[in-house]
Structure 1
């Protein structure tokens, strides 16, 4: 028999050692749970210090990497941010791994795209195209005598033209180029006024025979816009175009000393100078401003005298001598009527001499002289209600 140890005596050791406690078994009723057991006291299973189900923060660099990758903006930076974000996520346990990977992949694709663009020169071409659109007709490089097609037509905004041969169908033919002075943008109205004045003077220098101008031809302007002015555009391009926006011109309208004979140039120079003087007629009626009309009649009288002298001084071919001499006689008679109009005491007297003087304009003697010189011989029909030139901004 064995004798039990006295109370308080040490217990014999188990030869097999202490038995491990089931971690999932409830603690004995006679003592509380000891700290340091599996898991944290009072905390559900999960990451230490983080309750299960708590959302994880998204790594900010991962978001930035994805944005740069999608926009293909600074792809090298997007790739670096993506790699750094993956390293931070691995250490901190944050979310956003997919965003970082996506940003890195897109940035790699962006790097490849930029490499292709730079190696092929596409970036330079695109930039030049952008500047051309902003600079307007300065970049169009149009010169007098050029013919072109405008994809957007001659009305409205024009950013590009395609040079073509004047012999075939085309939208416009340049008859003059005007360069405006520098400084701040003068405004649409001021540029339009400058185009009206300067292009009108250039029109008859390029197409000297006004009788040969088709009725369907009108004058258009390619003018700087406020935006193109910032890029240094100071050019007004004077253009002949068809009055019907959907119809083009065929053949060149050029008729100047490069295409005409000397006799034709002398005759047309005198005719155009006289027409320019007639164009300055005052807008008010003689009843409203007789003094202005009398001054204008004096101007016409003086210009007509200069043209008579020029015609008499030129040596005409035999076939044109008599017709030109007859025209000069009519011009002398007309000049006398303009002199009387310039001295008229009242509007009625003025208008009487005015009508007599105008009867010689584009009369039979003019037609005969033109035929003798091989020029157009059908007087143009003038439309009093016809508007001014059309304009397009670039």
Structure 2
């Protein structure tokens, strides 16, 4: 499997591969034994055709049935020309290889090959990257850099190099190429991270997203899975699971984060403009969507029955969300660029992440907003702009 890091984006990509099972190599048979006899010596025994033996072996073991079929036909011609033994083995090799080739053709057409691959993965060694599943923590001899084929699963409470947070199925039947797999891994793994780590505030800033992609060799045997992995970018190991989803959160925490994600998703859609210009129509439209998201978040918070210790903080947050809604509404209805940028700045101030700290503390969630580089090199991530 190739190990790739989404973040940081710079730097060379390293290739690695989970190698397919080694297949026996059939060499070219050597010459028939040479016997030296005098005029009255015994007649040499008729040798067995080596190609016939190879054809029979490949036919019985179902290794490379097309090769076994070809070798069987070659053996029949050699036996007839040389007068060697082994016709029965050659015929059996042709028959078995023909049957194996037919079965492979049917399996590829019906998807049975995929089931065979799944069975192979299920039977893979415990320290193979092919055995990794969502939620697994693992160590690897080379960490998360370079060629990686081994990944020993360990309890997440122990030190580990990475934690698998998603598996992505690669579509299509033809190998898409390394560049396409890298692009797919970047897009899908980053997008799926928020479903595994719903509370982005709990994610350490030094943790990045990596992924294992199929190699060209493993693809030939049905490998169609990209493993998305969380790991430290400084090369040190993690301790403890980073997971925060429905399997680890209580009902109140889950409700709060789902409501917060409504606004976070809208904030993430900010138009990609670095400087004010004369046309802010896209920005005004976006501000309108944010206004609607703020209102929806407040509605979801009101609809839930909160524990006693969280009722007061939630009520205060709902009041603050009302102020933020008004501010975003003003930005959405601005009539000129200058007034729009003024109202947008006011709206951002009203959407201050610190307003949610008391609610988070009452619910037992992380209370420190993620840190960013002052140079703006790190993009704000879903769940980190608000609540």
Question: Quick check: 1:334–1:357 contact (8 Å CA) kept in 2?
Answer: yes
Following TM superposition, by how much is the alpha carbon of 1:343 offset from its aligned partner in structure 2, in angstroms? 2.4
Provide the C-alpha distance between the structure 1 equivalents of 2:356 and 2:350, rounded to a whole number of angstroms: 9
Q: Residue deviations 1:204-241, cap 9 Å, x none?
A: 22122111111221111212234433332221211110
Paired position in structure 1 for 2:8: none
2:312 maps to what in 1? 322
Compare 197-206 and 252-261 and name the one that shifted more.
Answer: 197-206
Kindly indicate whether the alpha-carbon contact (under 8 Å) linking 2:287 and 2:329 is maintained by their aligned counterparts in 1: yes
CA distance in 1, matches of 2:338, 2:216: 49
Q: In 1, Cα distance between the equivalents of 2:380 and 2:357?
A: 27
SS in structure 1 of the partner of residue 130 of structure 2: coil
Secondary structure of residue in 2 paired with 1:140: helix
Secondary structure (helix, strand or coil) at the match of 1:178 reads strand
* Structure 2 equivalent of residue 357 of structure 1: 347
| Greater displacement, 322-331 / 375-384 | 375-384
Partner of 2:257: 268
Q: TM-score, normalised by structure 1?
A: 0.62
Match of 1:22 in 2: none
Structure 2 matches for 1:12-161, cutoff 5 A? 78=30, 81=32, 84-85=33-34, 87-88=35-36, 140-161=130-151
TM-score calculated relative to the size of structure 2: 0.63
SS at 2:370 equivalent: coil
Query: Kindly tell me: are residues 282 and 387 of structure 1, through their superposed partners in 2, closer, same or farther at Cα, counting changes over 3 Å?
Result: closer
Alignment partner, residue 123 of structure 1: none
Choose the corresponding residue for 2:377, options 375, 378, 385.
Answer: 385
Secondary structure at 1:381's aligned position in 2? coil
CA RMSD, 1 decimal = 3.3
1:243 to 230, 233, 238: 233
How far off its partner does 1:346 sit? 3.0
Alpha-carbon distance, 1:287 to partner = 2.5
Find the aligned partners of 2:225 and 2:168 in 1 and give their Cα distance.
6
Deviations 1:70-96 (CA, angstroms, capped at 9, x unpaired): xx9669x55x73xx22x14x669xxxx
Residues 131-166 of structure 1: CA distance to partner in whole angstroms, max 9, x if unpaired? Answer: 98xx9x996132111011122332344323111111
The CA deviation string for residues 270-313 of structure 1, in whole angstroms up to 9 with x for no partner, is: 12232222122122236345222222212222222211110010
List aligned pairs for 1:181-200, cutoff 5 A. Answer: 181-200=171-190
> How far apart in 2 are the matches of 1:381 and 1:388?
10
Higher relative contact order (CA 8 A, sep 6+): 2
SS in 1 for 2:350: coil
Separation of aligned partners in 2, 1:157 and 1:387: 29
Corresponding residue to 2:159 among 169, 177, 196: 169
SS of alignment partner, residue 184 of structure 2: helix
- Aligned residue pairs total 274
Task: Out of 206-215 and 311-320, give the one that drifted further.
Answer: 206-215
CA separation of 1:361/1:142 partners in 2, compared to 1, >3 Å: closer, same or farther?
farther
**Counterpart in 2 of 1:179?**
169
**Cα 1:211/1:388, change in 2 over 3 Å:** closer
Cα deviation for residue 387 of structure 1 reads 7.6
Match of 2:199 among 203, 206, 209: 209
Q: Is residue 256–residue 301 contact of structure 2 (8 Å, CA) maintained in 1?
A: yes
Indicate which of 360, 363, 375 corresponds to 1:373: 363
Find the counterpart in structure 2 of residue 19 from structure 1. Answer: none
Q: Is contact 1:211-1:378 (8 Å) kept?
A: yes
- 1:334 CA drift (Å): 1.0
| Structure 1 pair 309–244 and aligned structure 2 pair: CA distance change class (3 A) | same
| Counterparts in 2 of 1:326 and 1:239: CA distance versus 1, 3 Å | same
Higher mean C-alpha deviation, range 376-385 or range 197-206: 197-206
Maintained 8 Å contact 1:286/1:293:
no
Q: Which runs of 5+ in 2 are unaligned?
A: 1-24, 40-56, 62-116, 382-387
CA-to-aligned-CA distance 1:171-200 (integer Å, 9 cap, x gap): 100111111222333344433333333223
Say if 1:183 and 1:293 are closer, same or farther in 2 by CA, change over 3 A.
Answer: farther
Deviates more, 1:159-168 or 1:220-229: 220-229
